[in-house]
Amino acid sequence: MGRVACIDVGTVTCRLAVADVQGGRVERLQRRSTICDLGENLTKTGRICGAARARVLACVDGYLAAARAAGAPSVCCTLTSAARDASNSDELLADLASRGLDAQVIPGDVEGSLTLLGVCQDFLGRLVLVADNGGGSTELALGRLGPDGLEVRAVRSVDVGCRRVTERFLSAGDPPSPTDVAAAHAFAARLLQHAAADMGLREAGAERLVVTGGTATSLVAVDAELVPYDSSYVHLRELTRPVVDALEGRLASLGLEARSALPGLQPKRAQVIVGGAIVVSELMRATGFERMTVSESDLLVGLSLTVDAVCAGDPSPVSWEPRPSMLV
């Protein structure tokens, strides 16, 4: 059994996974998640601000200590949408390198493929459409995991996410005005409908839409007033489109302080949850699904499986090679 540690630095959240992998399956997974908001003001400035970089680095320092304590021999660090977009990502990469990390900014198609690999652990042999709804982008991946490995039929990264939508449309008022909410819907609808049509998703015959990311898990938690958060309850829970739309309407009607106090919602996510709900709503419309399945077997699971395979000398299950760094 191999033990691997993975750190994913997203636009809103930084996450750590320490996984025990055996026979191409994650047998045990320890997770940590911290809202660091790397994408703060990125839409306006095109740069990662100093405060956001400092938050991420402090978080990563803690994650490295936790990975060492858990006995992981190496760690793989990836960065996604915010690092892809920012003009000064090299500064953050240099700071990570000073900590011994060969951090990799992964393309959107790799991000989508890794998430598909993680999600498909629960749907072996079944054709699924996976959406990784993040802070800066949403990755769409259509495929299945079978005896011959991962089949990726189509994958696309769409520049629409909860932080991007919030900064572009929803920051002028508290709560946001109906006009701003409508503009956010139109923006998300245009990009997602174009991607869905280009990928042929409505005709593809996927059995279900599976959505990962903090917005989707938070919508389940808010709907159930889940306190404390319980990943075993959230994982593979289904939400219908009318429920998602009702949750969005409720969240959009509240100011930030009231949203922050809602049972089931992390206070730090309250600022971007309306934008996230809008994206999820338009995602369901664009792909033609009346219900979605929420999964916690996400990019971190796919990344853990990929790192374990490469460390064992086997081919990578996706079209990308991780570069793990030794933990000393």
Distance CA 303, CA 300 (A): 5
Rounded CA-CA distance 21/118 in Å is: 12
The reply to whether 30 and 149 lie within a common domain is no
pLDDT, residue 222, reads 98
- 3-state DSSP assignment of residue 9: strand
The pLDDT tens digits of the residues spanning 216-227 come to 999 999 999 999
Q: Are residues 185 and 290 in the same domain?
A: yes
* pLDDT above 80 for 328: no
Assigned token pair, 14 = 């930084």
Q: Is 139 left (phi over 0), alpha (psi -120 to 50) or beta?
A: beta
pLDDT in tens, 185-198: 999 999 999 999 99
Shared domain for 117 and 218, answered yes or no, is yes
| Count of beta carbons in the 10 Å neighbourhood of residue 238 | 13
User: For residue 85, what pLDDT band results from cuts at 50, 70 and 90?
Assistant: very high
> Which tokens go with 80?
């996604």
Could you count the other beta carbons within 10 Å of the beta carbon of residue 218?
A: 27
The tens digit of pLDDT for each residue in 121-147 reads 999 999 999 999 999 999 999 999 999
- C-alpha count within 13 angstroms, C-beta hemisphere, residue 292: 33
Which of the four pLDDT bands, split at 50, 70 and 90, describes residue 1? low
Q: Kindly state whether residue 315 falls inside one of the protein's structural domains.
A: no
> At residue 24, does pLDDT exceed 90?
no
Any domain includes 299: no
Domain shared by 79 and 186, yes or no: no
State the residue range of the domain holding 72: 2-105+320-326
* Angle at which helices 299-311 and 108-119 cross, to 10°: 90
Tell me the pTM.
Answer: 0.96
DSSP bridge pairs for 229: none
Q: What would the pLDDT profile of 166-190 be if each residue is shown by its tens digit? A: 999 999 999 999 999 999 999 999 9
